[in-house]
């Protein structure tokens, strides 16, 4: 991808993010996105093909925080959490990274969830995202269980899925005016209690 294509892709993704969050997935058209991005409609089709592919790309980039093709479980923060000898340090590293991801992606995930009711392809995108979150949580909770005797991994995965959900992040940080740091500390406490490592 050359510089012009990269620039167009970034403009389109930024425009799509803004419009999906403010207007919803269903109400946002390719024409709207092109206009917001300042590019031709055909450019949007050339770069992404369709709106669903654009939403998927937006989700991937927003979760990662960059364009690097590095899966979540191969990210440095995951290795750091696994390497931490202290269970609480493990949780702090994990939850801090998850909170930063939520800051970037929570609103887009809510767009995906809302769009899932009307669009089977978006519903599949939502299911895939939930499965990915469960996979990451299970990996990290299994690693934590090696440091905490008698820990129930399944319960901790479920608690983590709830506490780190885009719905709860948005409710507490955006609707109830919690600081991201307060939310992060609360999640650490909740997961520690669930894992019995506090």
In eight-state DSSP terms, residue 24 is: -
| pTM listed for this prediction | 0.90
CB 160 within 8 A of CB 186: no
* Structure tokens given for 111: 């767009």
170 and 82 in a single domain? The answer is yes
Claim to verify: residue 86 and residue 134 sit in the same structural domain? yes
Query: What range does the domain containing 10 cover?
Result: 3-62
3-class DSSP state of 175: helix
Same domain, 122 and 185: yes
Cβ-contact 133, 161 below 8 angstroms: yes
pLDDT tens, the chain, 198 aa long: 556 667 889 999 999 999 999 999 999 999 999 999 999 999 999 999 999 999 999 999 999 888 787 899 999 999 999 999 999 999 999 999 999 999 999 999 999 999 998 899 999 999 999 999 999 999 999 999 999 999 999 999 999 999 999 999 999 999 999 999 999 999 999 999 999 875
Number of domains in the chain: 2
pLDDT at residue 4 in the model:
63
């Amino acid at each position: 991808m050359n510089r012009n294509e990269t620039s167009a892709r970034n403009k389109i993704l930024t425009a799509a993010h803004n419009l999906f969050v403010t207007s919803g997935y269903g109400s946002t058209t390719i024409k709207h996105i092109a206009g917001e991005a300042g590019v031709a409609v055909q450019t949007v089709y050339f770069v992404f093909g369709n709106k669903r592919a654009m939403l998927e790309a937006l989700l991937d980039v927003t979760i990662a925080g960059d364009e690097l093709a590095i899966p979540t479980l191969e990210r440095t923060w995951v290795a750091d959490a696994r390497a931490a000898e202290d269970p609480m340090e493990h949780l702090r590293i994990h939850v801090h990274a998850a909170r930063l991801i939520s800051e970037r992606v929570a609103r887009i995930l809510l767009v995906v969830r809302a769009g899932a009711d009307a669009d089977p392809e978006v519903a599949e995108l939502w299911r895939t995202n939930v499965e990915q979150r469960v996979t990451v949580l299970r990996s990290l909770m299994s690693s934590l269980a090696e440091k905490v005797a008698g820990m129930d991994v399944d319960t901790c995965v479920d608690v983590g899925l709830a506490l780190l959900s885009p719905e709860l992040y948005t409710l507490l940080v955006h609707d109830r005016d919690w600081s991201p740091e307060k939310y992060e500390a609360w999640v650490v406490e909740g997961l520690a209690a669930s894992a019995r490592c506090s």
